């Protein structure tokens, strides 16, 4: 599976310059999981065609931004604590302390909401131009079939 975004592009898009974060912390596996979890269920057959050259402008403009914010959400989850031989630890340094669970959830929710609105924009462009996206079938889009509220399927 081709990765649709690089770690550097994720940082540039979804992480403010004021946040100190290394792009090597965004692993290729994380990008692949985000693509499979968040994009494939929405785009169906079109998902496999997104890596083709003819969709490169669309991917750059409409797919990379929501994907970057979904990855940000995943990174927030991973940074909450670390797993090691001593168990699950929450990091603390002389210069700061861990964010509260409430703040972590707020940041996660903000990243997910941004990603979902950007993904809605991408789907809107596709559905407004069906002749440009022949692989897309709206009935394959799980967002048309499921109602999600607060992370729960209703």
- Residue 113's nearest CA partner among 79, 148, 137, 144 is 148
Distance CA 33, CA 39 (A): 10
**Residues 24, 43, 49, CA angle at the centre, nearest 5°?**
75
What phi and psi, each to the nearest 5 degrees, are found at residue 93?
-130, 175
For 70, half-sphere exposure in the C-beta direction (CA atoms, 13 angstrom radius) is: 22
Can you tell me whether residue 30 is helix, strand or coil? helix
- 14 confidence band (pLDDT: 50, 70, 90): very high
What are the pLDDT digits (tens) for 54-67? 999 999 999 999 99
Distance CA 110, CA 153 (A): 19
Highest mean pLDDT among 61-70, 74-83, 93-102: 61-70
- The model's pTM: 0.84
Largest interatomic CA distance in the chain: 57
């Amino acid at each position: 599976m081709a990765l649709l975004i690089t770690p550097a592009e994720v940082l540039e898009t979804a992480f403010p310059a004021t946040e100190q974060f290394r792009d090597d912390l965004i692993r290729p596996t994380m990008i692949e999981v985000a693509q499979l979890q968040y994009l494939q269920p929405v785009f169906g057959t079109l998902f496999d065609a997104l890596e083709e050259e003819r969709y490169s402008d669309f991917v750059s403009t409409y797919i990379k931004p929501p994907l970057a914010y979904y990855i940000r959400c995943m990174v927030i989850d991973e940074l909450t604590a670390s797993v090691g031989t001593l168990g699950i630890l929450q990091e603390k340094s002389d210069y700061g302390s861990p964010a509260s669970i409430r703040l972590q959830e707020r940041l996660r929710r903000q990243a997910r909401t941004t990603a979902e609105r950007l993904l809605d924009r991408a789907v809107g462009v596709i559905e407004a131009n069906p002749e440009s996206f022949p692989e897309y079938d709206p009935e394959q889009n799980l967002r048309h079939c499921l109602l999600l509220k607060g992370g729960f399927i209703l």
